[in-house]
């Protein structure tokens, strides 16, 4: 006996069966039939996407204009050997390792009022995961106006090391959920710290899964 065991990835059917055993067949079918767009692939977006891929969401769209930078590694789901890569490409690679049968579309693009209605039109669930406040507002205004059938889940207020219990989810209207503490602002010198950003990302991912499952419980 010598040498490493031959690597064999589980088949799609094996992975699906394992997910069904964890989540229940009915819920898993809904996750697998689901499609979610993640806009911005920083601390929020990369963590949201990892959670959704692990849960077995069938189709993900990853959008970001930026490349992986050393300053991202404190909280974002990238590796030092991915420095300089476009985030959309780097995260797509990682998600393929986590969930090889997830259908992932990724694009390096700066979202705008003009391209949002086109790029996001096939995605009934959309996660806002930008960094800048004015860009968050732009995306929310554009999606809610131009894509009125979509469900939008945004994040606002997760900087610093304040109480994680202040991060909560609110449903402000039929198509809009807002996660975060609403006030801790990275633009006011508060750092973005892995665990607290991940709390907000987990709120957003949980709501996305609830929407797919048709079981809203805020």
Partner 1 sequence: MVKVNGVEMDVSGKTVSELLEAEGYQPAVVAVELNEVILPKAEYGSTVLKDGDIAEVVSFVGGG
**Binding of partner 1 at residue 122 (CB under 8 A)?**
no
Of 2-10, 17-25, 89-97, 134-142, the segment contacting partner 1 by CB under 8 A is 134-142
**Binding of partner 1 at residue 99 (CB under 8 A)?**
no
Minimum distance between the CB of residue 37 and partner 1, rounded to whole angstroms? 15
**Binding of partner 1 at residue 38 (CB under 8 A)?**
no
Minimum distance between the CB of residue 112 and partner 1, rounded to whole angstroms? 15
Of 41-49, 53-61, 95-103, 115-123, the segment contacting partner 1 by CB under 8 A is 41-49
Q: What is the 3-state secondary structure (H, E, C) of the chain?
A: CCCCCCCCCCCHHHHHHHHHHHHCHHHHHHHHHCEEEEECCCHHHHHHHHHHHHHCCCEEEEEECCECCHHHCCCCCCCHHHCCCEHHHHHHHHHHHHCCCCEEEEEECCCCCCCHHHHCCCCCEEEECCCCHHHHHHHHHHHHHHCCCCEEEEECCCCCCCCHHHCEEEEEECCEEEEECCCCCHHHCCCCCHHHHHHHHHHHHHHHHHHHHCCCCC
- d(CA 49, CA 88) in angstroms, rounded, equals 11
**Binding of partner 1 at residue 190 (CB under 8 A)?**
yes
Tell me which of 5, 7, 187, 195 binds partner 1, using CB under 8 A: 187
**Binding of partner 1 at residue 50 (CB under 8 A)?**
no
Of 14-22, 88-96, 103-111, 123-131, the segment contacting partner 1 by CB under 8 A is 123-131
**Binding of partner 1 at residue 134 (CB under 8 A)?**
yes
Tell me which of 153, 158, 198, 212 binds partner 1, using CB under 8 A: 158
Tell me which of 32, 82, 106, 184 binds partner 1, using CB under 8 A: 184
Pick from 125, 93, 116, 124: nearest CA to 106: 93
**Binding of partner 1 at residue 64 (CB under 8 A)?**
no
Q: How many CA atoms lie within 13 A of 47 on its CB side?
A: 25
**Binding of partner 1 at residue 145 (CB under 8 A)?**
yes
Residues that bind partner 1 (CB under 8 A): 40, 42-45, 129-134, 136-137, 140-141, 144-145, 154-159, 172-174, 176, 178, 180, 182-187, 190, 192, 197
């Amino acid at each position: 006996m010598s040498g490493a065991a031959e690597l064999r990835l589980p088949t799609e059917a094996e992975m699906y069966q394992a997910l069904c055993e964890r989540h229940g067949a009915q819920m898993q079918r809904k996750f697998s039939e689901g499609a979610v767009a993640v806009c911005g692939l920083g601390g929020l977006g990369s963590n949201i996407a990892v959670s959704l891929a692990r849960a077995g969401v069938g189709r993900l769209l990853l959008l970001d204009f930026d490349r992986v930078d050393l300053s991202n590694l404190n909280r974002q789901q990238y590796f030092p050997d991915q420095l300089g890569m476009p985030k959309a490409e780097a995260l797509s690679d990682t998600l393929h390792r986590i969930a090889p049968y997830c259908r992932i579309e990724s694009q390096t693009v700066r979202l705008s009022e003009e391209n949002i209605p086109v790029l996001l039109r096939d995605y009934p669930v959309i996660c806002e995961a930008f960094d800048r406040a004015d860009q968050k507002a732009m995306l929310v205004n554009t999606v809610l106006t131009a894509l009125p059938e979509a469900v939008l889940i945004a994040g606002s207020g997760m900087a610093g090391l304040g109480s994680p219990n202040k991060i909560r989810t609110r449903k402000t209207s039929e198509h809009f959920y807002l996660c975060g503490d609403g006030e801790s602002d990275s633009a006011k010198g508060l750092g973005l710290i892995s665990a607290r950003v991940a709390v907000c990302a987990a709120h957003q991912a949980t709501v996305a899964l609830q929407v797919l499952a048709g079981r809203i419980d805020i």
